[in-house]
Amino acid sequence: MTDRDRLASDAAAIARKLAAAAASGAEGRVNRRLIGGLAQEGLLPRLFPRRAGGTRDEEVSAVDLCAVREALAKESTVTENAIAIQTLGAYPIVLAGSDEQAGRYAGPVARGEAVAAFALTEPGAGTDAGALALRAERDGNGYRLTGTKVFISNAPDADVYTLFARTTPGAGTKGITAFIVNGDAKGLNGTAMRLLSAHPIGRLELDGVLVSEDQVLGEVDHGFKLAMRTLDLFRPSVGASVIGMAQAALDAAVAHASSRQAFGRPIKEFQAVSHQLAEMATRLEAARALVYAAAEAYDRGDKHVARRSAMAKLFATETAQQVIDVAIQVHGAIALEQGHLLEHLYREVRAPRIYEGTSEIQREIIARDLFRQ
């Protein structure tokens, strides 16, 4: 068994062990019991370096992140989402923070003692992240943050936000800075949002929130590069997570087709059913190969990592949507009943085609890289 396989096996076992904790949370809000369990079982610390409260010598590899997210998503999308947002929210601090910042802010996240969030999207800046308008204005030795963030996972319950704001007006992507913002900061208010799938997600309003100089993350006006570097690491793992969902759906469809009788025989014997499943299995395997190839490219520092990450996210999310749709078709109306695995997965799989860059922007990233050559 390879290290990747061992990590995936451990993650799956932990997801099964924490099933009760995953089911115990309030719908649409942060489940601190689950996050604490992920830390106590040792999975969260395995994704962070020691300088940031974890057990690794270095930052998490993209391959390991993919292995964990795929295994968790196949077992429990709730558990997968919890660990994905914890790592996404804290990893800009790991990547660009000083040792003091990493220990102070990311350490409690790795230990399951604090909840993290990645705050980039705004009402007028989603796919076009360079258009963000939340202001960061100098105030003595710090900054005052004013504006709105939306569709922020773990908001408004997070203890620490990696938040991106504009420090230089009119400078586009070159005028954005990353900040570490405490969840209890004066002037920070938030409300929960309800989406198609009930994940913890919300809106943040910042009214002159004061952050000190030591809460600046990385260099001033270089925050956009940090955001993109973080997303390059996480985009293949978004693909891995939907592969886990799709594999669960495909397995359910194969089992159903083997046992369901129609016209005196199992429906797997009808070519209209079996060939659809064969096609989906093939597409899913291709998506998995593309995802792990992109992750390996990130880990070795490939110069085309942005393009490969975009390809992986694009193909995997679009494929997963197809696989789950076919699995529902094979099951028929029973799969549409609320609470059915496939009804759940159908709702879960839609958002990944939008967050961390829509399918359309992934195509744009790929095209730009092609023509840059």
Long-range CB contacts for residues 79-84, cutoff 8 Å, separation at least 24: 79/14, 79/15, 79/18, 79/22, 79/34, 79/38, 80/15, 80/241, 80/244, 81/153, 81/199, 82/22, 82/31, 82/34, 82/35, 82/38, 83/38, 83/43, 83/44, 83/47, 84/234, 84/237, 84/241
Alpha helix stretches (DSSP H) within the chain: 3-17, 19-24, 32-40, 62-75, 77-96, 99-101, 107-110, 223-259, 271-299, 305-331, 341-348, 359-372
Percent of the residues in the chain that have a pLDDT greater than 90, as a whole number:
88
Q: Is the pLDDT reported for residue 197 higher than 90?
A: no
Q: Which helix (DSSP H) or strand (DSSP E) does residue 27 occupy?
A: none
Quick one: 197 and 237 in the same domain? no
Query: Can you give the CATH number for the domain in which 133 is found?
Result: 2.40.110.10
Quick one: 239 and 368 in the same domain? yes
Query: Can you give the CATH number for the domain in which 109 is found?
Result: 1.10.540.10
Quick one: 136 and 52 in the same domain? no
Q: Is the pLDDT reported for residue 1 higher than 80?
A: no
Give the end of a domain, one of 219, 239, 260: 219
The mean pLDDT of 301-315, rounded to a whole number, is 92
- Domain span at 332: 224-372
Q: What is the pTM of this model?
A: 0.94
Quick one: 165 and 185 in the same domain? yes
Quick one: 211 and 232 in the same domain? no
Other beta carbons within 10 angstroms of residue 358's beta carbon come to 16
Query: Can you give the CATH number for the domain in which 301 is found?
Result: 1.20.140.10
The mean pLDDT of 254-268, rounded to a whole number, is 95
Alpha helix stretches (DSSP H) within 210-263: 223-259
Quick one: 99 and 126 in the same domain? no
pLDDT of residue 28: 86
Q: How far apart are CA 1 and CA 72, in angstroms?
A: 18
The mean pLDDT of 252-273, rounded to a whole number, is 95
Give the end of a domain, one of 74, 89, 114: 114
Domains identified in the chain, total number: 3
Quick one: 94 and 14 in the same domain? yes
Quick one: 211 and 328 in the same domain? no
Give the end of a domain, one of 57, 90, 114: 114
Q: Given the structure tokens 């929210």, which residue do they identify?
A: 89
Would you name the residues annotated as active-site residues? 356
Q: pLDDT tens digit string along 223-243?
A: 999 999 998 899 899 999 999
Quick one: 71 and 152 in the same domain? no
Quick one: 280 and 201 in the same domain? no
Q: Is the pLDDT reported for residue 373 higher than 80?
A: no
Quick one: 306 and 234 in the same domain? yes
Quick one: 109 and 136 in the same domain? no
